[in-house]
Structure 1
Amino acid sequence: MISVEDGLDLYLREVSKFPVLTREEEQDLFKRLARGDQNAREQIVRCNLRFVVKMALRYQRQGVALPDLIQEGNMGLLEVVDKFDPNKGFRFSTYAAFWIKQAIQQALCKQSRLIRLPIRKSRMIGKITEAAKSFAKREGREPSADEIGRIVDLPAERVEQLAQWNEPALSLDSARDEDSPTLEEMLPQQGVASPAERAMDDQMRTRVRGAVKGLSEREQRVLSLRFGFQGAKALSLRHTSHHVGLSQEGVRRVEKKALEKLRRPQYQPLLAGLL
């Protein structure tokens, strides 16, 4: 039996055999198509399959397998052949790119999420993802929300909000590694905690309070709100930002810096097993 990987490899080798059309060849094929020559249509499609693969590669690892992305892109290609007007003077691939991209993004919207997002929001998430990838390739590091926002002309807070929607759903059967419990096993069971569990919880809170004394007042405040150290409900980045007067990106930076401090050797006796 041929595996998915083998099948994809065979497909890629096959489409690479079809040459990229010159402008003159493209014009000639569309003239033949206008006269009803379906062989010309097939040749146009075959010679642009490689272009679909190139576009599908931009969207891989976003929740839909690459072969499925290619298939959706091919559907967009088939649709656009009959819409293209060669008399307007631009190349077919320039016109087809929008339709192919739209077909792929709609597939991502429908298939990659348990929560269906509006098409417009999914496209904006795709735009942010592309901007982040291009930035990382160019600069050799991940961009901040502010940097992405400047690229896609959105506020940093909006970029962070859309990025959260782009997080993949986790299965309750998933675990961090082979020796770790699954998410289902880590979820608290319904019912009242036992005396032993309450005692352990109190001990953990005492250890955490002792450790965070070494942090700045702002770092203590952010961690307390984000993780519910004072017994209150843990807050999201957005709600924490409202409490401390920082942007969400600012809260994220303070939280990251504080956790890095708590991983230092002097805090390990207090926080062993917690970080």
Structure 2
Amino acid sequence: MSTTLLESDVLACDPHQLYSHEIASYPLLSSQEVIELAQCMEQESEAEHERKHMPFPSASSLALGGAHMQQAKQRLIECNLRLVRSIAYKYRGFGVEMMDLIQEGNLGLIHAVEKFDYKKGYRLSTYATYWIRQYICRELARQIHKVRIPIYLQERFKLARHLLETSREPGKHDQSLANLMTAYEVAESQVISVDTCSLDIEDQELTPEEQCIRDTQLHMLRKLFTQSELTKRECFILCLRYGLSSSLKQGTLESLLSKEQEPDRCEQSYAHIGALLGLSHEAIRQIELRAIKKVQKQVQVMQAAGQEIHYADFF
């Protein structure tokens, strides 16, 4: 009896322990159960779309379909909450409360469940892990970087985020995509260092699900570059600055990259890019800033049009 009371006191005093105790009641799902729930969400979404376009849809039919889809979504989320907690635990020790990290990770899980496509053959846990990490890293960046850092010091901090993540990532280029979109969404008055990680390590062979995630992200990034009306030179400079040249050398980069000039997958300095293009250090920096402002403006236009967009959508 006394032991039970003691455990209750501990749970009452520690929100993290209480939360862990609560989510432990949700059973893990088998691969087949995940597919069935995802199919249910898909079918109900299609049925809801059809009902909305009926001449006289009944309120009860609309409500029933929405309830079934929400139940399937809720179960996928609840049964993966322990995954969020385990990932958030790896990011403790940076001055951010554990429950705040878990809350951000849960938002990433919700985003992953909404975007998950079971037909592509990859596992929900793999797909969700990446979104959870991105949302947690975004919160860490928001909490940690409170003071504006001079540009010359930003160059020294490029490997900072590499120290935050020691576990295997779904493709080394994904982190560069995250850094690039972070730069797009941050105004000059805000504080974000260009904390790209080194990409000079040979890429590991990607699994099918990792390749699918990366292909989707690269497609979205190319689309954003096109909508932002970047010139070939601006696209080239952004890709080299953020280590994306090898992945994005198709299309707009194709005419600028020769076999003799093709750079490696590391983020490049202003001086190196200037040598490739025959321009000064300052000219490259100005072109980069102009390109980033173009993309920032395009993101604002998309948001004003009602399109939900986050930098995490691109990594």
TM-score range, shorter chain: 0.3 to 0.5
Could you say which structure has the larger radius of gyration? 1
TM-score (normalised: structure 2): 0.38
Task: Give TM-score, length-normalised by structure 1.
Answer: 0.44
